Amino acid sequence: MSSASNTYNYDKFGAFEKQHEQERLNRQAALAHQYDLPFIKSAGISDNHTILDLGCGPGHIAYMFATEFPKTHVHAIDSSSELLNVATNHYSAPNLFFKQASVYDIPYDDHSFDIVYCRLVFQHLSSLGDAIQEIYRVLKPGGKVCIVEIDDSLQIFSPIIPSLEQCRSVIKDGVHHGGNRYVGREIPPLLLASLFQDINIHTPSISTVNTDTKLLFDIALSFIPDMASNPDGITAEVIWKDIHRHQDAFFGLIVLLCMQATKPY
């Protein structure tokens, strides 16, 4: 078992944080059909494939894959026993299997999966290289890894709203649960160093033109309750009030990094 850790431990959140985080993850689920389905299709998913969803959280992505592709086997792991309880209470399908495990120690044999999918998890990991090596190990030769992540340099918010900018700079400095919000740029070189080939990066964007502003902020600001403990006391409520003041002119855009790579034969 690797000693590598992560900055996100749902099971240790307080009751308020848990409720907030589950609501946030549920809102993020709304993105799945629009972004994750085409992304996994582009990896060449087909009948009899075995898929692993790493860091599945409350399970909506794994469930979507299992129901959209009923002839595949979808395995989903997460380190949080409580989020896995949420997942198993909400989602079941004959081809869907949840298990508690770490991305650093994936409880499957070498060469088990055709596709490994991992959405918005790497930003919480302290040892990206260990995770990528584990993914490489469990992929079949010719198998594909699909990683969805963000990099906060690829965001636009206009006009400048001081409370929002201050909040983003707290996140930039690494808040307690927030992890590395600039992780996107670190992944492609690590995929290359781990001998993955045919690395593709698609960069769809989400903006206030086509997405609910609240959802955009769920992704942009990650774990908002952390803001309550920042030294200047900027809360999500303060930011929301400021944004509403500029509602008509406000524009936000976030780029998603959808990275795909193949394990060679």
Ligand X SMILES: C[S@@+](CC[C@H](N)C(=O)[O-])C[C@H]1O[C@@H](n2cnc3c(N)ncnc32)[C@H](O)[C@@H]1O
Nearer to ligand X, 86 or 167 (CB): 86
**The Cα angle at residue 96 between residues 92 and 102, in degrees rounded to 5:** 110
**Residue 119 within binding range of ligand X, rule CB under 6 A:** yes
The H or E element containing residue 115 is strand 113-119
Write the burial class of residue 134 (CB in 10 Å: 0-12 exposed, 13-18 middle, 19+ buried). buried
Edge-first strand order for the sheet with 251-255 is 155-158, 251-255, 205-207
**Residues 42, 85: Cα–Cα separation, whole Å:** 30
Among 18, 49, 73, 124, interactor with ligand X by CB under 6 A: 124
Among 72, 79, 208, 262, interactor with ligand X by CB under 6 A: 79
**Residues 116, 261: Cα–Cα separation, whole Å:** 10
Backbone phi and psi for residue 172, each to the nearest 5 degrees, phi listed first: -60, -40
Angle between helices 15-29 and 60-68 (to 10 degrees): 30
> How many positions of this chain bind ligand X (CB under 6 A)?
21
**Residue 194 within binding range of ligand X, rule CB under 6 A:** no
Among 76, 87, 121, 220, interactor with ligand X by CB under 6 A: 121
Nearer to ligand X, 129 or 242 (CB): 129
Closest separation in Å from C-beta 148 to ligand X: 7
The answer to whether 75 and 97 are in contact (CB under 8 A) is yes
Nearer to ligand X, 28 or 180 (CB): 28
H-type helices in the chain, by residue range? 15-29, 37-41, 60-68, 81-90, 128-138, 162-172, 187-193, 213-221, 236-245
Options 79-87, 108-116, 188-196, 252-260: segment touching ligand X (CB under 6 A):
79-87
**Residue 83 within binding range of ligand X, rule CB under 6 A:** yes
Among 40, 63, 72, 78, interactor with ligand X by CB under 6 A: 78
Torsional sign, CA 213, 179, 236, 19: positive
**Chain residue whose CB lies nearest ligand X:** 57
Nearer to ligand X, 120 or 170 (CB): 120
Among 40, 55, 257, 262, interactor with ligand X by CB under 6 A: 55
Among 116, 120, 175, 259, interactor with ligand X by CB under 6 A: 120
Which residues bind to ligand X, rule: CB under 6 A?
Answer: 6, 8, 10, 25, 28, 55-57, 61, 78-80, 83, 102-104, 119-121, 124-125
